[in-house]
Amino acid sequence: MKQKKIVITGGPGTGKSTIIEHLIEMEFTCMPEISRNITKEAQLSGIDQLFLKDPLLFSKLLLEGRILQYKTAASQATDKVFFDRGIPDIHGYMDYLGAKYPEIYTQKSNEFRYSHVFMMPPWKEIYKTDNERYETYEQSLSIYNYLIDGYTKMNYHIIRVPEGSITDRVNFILNSL
């Protein structure tokens, strides 16, 4: 049986990590978001927002980490692995910034394909900022559109997850597989 690699993505503050945490509680194999760790490490070295200061370095670190997650997932003896963001998120964010980036990002997005992409639309009632999430709600809306565009350009079928309780959203995802 071929392993399903399932991306949960969307703009900042849409509930992705909460969904992943719930799936972990249900004992599904999940790959957590790594951008927060990269941001925290940069902050420890005195760089407040590495993504804004050096988007190419930040994106390079993300690409390396997400490829490692993909390879780690492939070695797991499970039929489903959920990812908190996928490789195409990287160029979606770079497009949002208007940054030029090497073709390697889209090449790697084509090389490491996911079976399902679930998009979490912006939801104002649950949106919050914190030390690693600096974007406003309006910026989250814009990023969401760039992510839709990025995954669409990579020929993915995007499944939009409706608003609702965590249980309802997780059930929607599981029932859509």
Q: Is the pLDDT of residue 130 over 60?
A: no
Binned at pLDDT 50, 70 and 90, residue 33 comes out as: confident
User: pLDDT for 81-121, tens place per residue?
Assistant: 999 999 999 889 889 988 888 899 999 999 999 999 999 99
Hey, what domains does the chain have and what are their CATH numbers?
Answer: 4-176 (3.40.50.300)
Say how far apart CA 153 and CA 100 lie, in whole Å: 17
- Using alpha carbons, list the distances in angstroms from residue 149 to 36, 51, 118, 153, 170: 23, 20, 14, 6, 24
Which strand ranges, in their side-by-side order, compose the sheet holding 29-31? 29-31, 80-84, 4-10, 116-120, 158-160
**pTM assigned to the model:** 0.89
C-beta atoms surrounding 73 within 10 Å: 21
Question: How far apart are the C-alpha atoms of 136 and 149, rounded to whole Å?
Answer: 20
